[in-house]
Amino acid sequence: MTQSISETQTTLPLPFKDLVVVEVGHSVAAPFAGQIFSELGARVVKIEKADGDDARKWGPPFWEGASSFFQSLNRNKQSVVCELRDPEQVESLKQYICQHADIVIQNLRPGQVEKLGLDGPSLLKLNDTLIYCNLGAFGNRGPLKDRPGYDPLMQAFGGIMSTTGEPGRPAVRVGASIVDMGTGMWAVIGALTALYERQATGKGKVIDVSLFETATSWVSLLASQYLASGKVADKQGSGAPGIVPYKGYLTSDGEIVVAAGSDSLFKSLASALGHPEWIDDPKYLGNPARVENQVELYGMIETVMSSQTTDHWISILEAVGVPCSPVNNLAQMVAHPQTEAMGVVQAVPGTGMQFIGLPLSFDGIRPAPYGAPPKLGEHTDLIIKKSEDNSR
């Protein structure tokens, strides 16, 4: 697929072209933060162990030398192999950070950077303009601060899985790595905030984000309902607590999601489904009543929806202004004209790879990849000199 705005993307200024970011990270969270910086023009130096970021092997599928997971998170970067058990190489990394880096992002296991002297407070003593961001698991204090964490664990621990899936069935993980990638986004937000402050003060600082805190932020609306009522939300399926009708239904050939979250939209929905009598039924007058009687209402809507195709209902509902959507698989999403019109899928120069771009544009132009994901150790001599390698 080609993107409709590819010709204009090269004209986008790279706002962070003068920034150097050192990514002492692996897997998803820190690499995604680094990916955002690199796509906006920063020079991102990725520090890897001798056998590489574990994500390089997360396949199949593999794409031009590494897993598609790794390639999608590491375009535009430079790869430096640094053996963190070798004091000389660690010292070289420390010197590079203090002399060249504006930002460090790291998500090593709790306590590891402190043992190496690569933690934020230690490095800021050597360069007080440095912005240092920890992407932790459970956070920097509390009884679980030393435990590692991964996306599925945090979806479970943070409450996301408890509300995902169908009532009466086992909990389900959200398929996308929303906790890892969300934490990467919060790291970038924190670093940009510190950059803004540094312009005024000339000083850097240490920023802490964590998978656990990100998970809690994703359930903040559901948590507010518990804090207000004392009632714990059950699994929601495709719906949402407190709003009815607001969920998905099986049609005769697929699935459709309908969001009729206001009284006026409910009236339009009822009429479009051929049941105008629902409009004045006391059980469905107002959202609180519909929430109270949602099992009965949803059952009736499901019966009607199953009688026709998804396209039929999309046409009918869109004609009366009821928000709705087919449940697209990834192939359908990628191939959709809206995806193409927005230039969401982007080609990586010099490769046959295509990935989803950053979800933002500047003056109508989306940032574009300008370099391939690095081969393992491709840029090691930026930091680890050959004389050091030969002396070992």
pLDDT tens string 251-304: 999 999 999 999 999 999 999 999 999 999 999 999 999 999 999 999 999 999
Are the CB atoms for 105 and 47 separated by under 8 Å?
no
Top-confidence residue, 363 or 21: 21
pLDDT tens string 47-82: 999 999 999 999 999 999 999 999 999 999 999 999
- Encoded tokens for 123: 């490095």
φ/ψ bin of 384: left (φ > 0), alpha (ψ from -120 to 50), beta (otherwise): beta
pLDDT tens string 309-338: 999 999 999 999 999 999 999 999 999 999
Q: How do 66-67 and 43-48 pair as beta strands?
A: unpaired
Are the CB atoms for 271 and 320 separated by under 8 Å?
yes
Rounded to two decimals, the pTM is 0.91
Strand partners, 246: 259
Strand partners, 257: 248, 325
Q: CB within 8 A of 190, min separation 6: which ones?
A: 133, 207, 209
pLDDT tens string 161-214: 999 999 999 999 999 999 999 999 999 999 999 999 999 999 999 999 999 999
What does 212-228 look like in DSSP terms, one character per residue? HHHHHHHTHHHHHHHHH
Q: Is the peptide bond before 241 cis (omega within 30 degrees of 0)?
A: no
- The reply to whether CATH 3.40.50.10540 applies to domain 6-219+362-390 is yes
Nearest CA-CA partner of 130 in 85, 96, 87, 181: 96
CATH 3.30.1540.10 residue spans of the chain: 255-326
- As a whole number of Å, the CA-based R_g of the chain is 25
What CATH fold (topology level) applies to the domain 255-326? formyl-coa transferase, domain 3 (3.30.1540)
Report the C-alpha gap between 374 and 193 in whole angstroms: 29
pLDDT tens string 111-139: 999 999 999 999 999 999 999 999 999 99
Local structure of 349: helix, strand or coil: coil
Element (H, E) at 46: strand 43-48
CATH 3.40.50.10540 residue spans of the chain: 6-219+362-390
User: Residue 13: its pLDDT value, please?
Assistant: 72
Q: CB within 8 A of 361, min separation 6: which ones?
A: none
pLDDT tens string 220-238: 999 999 999 999 988 989 9
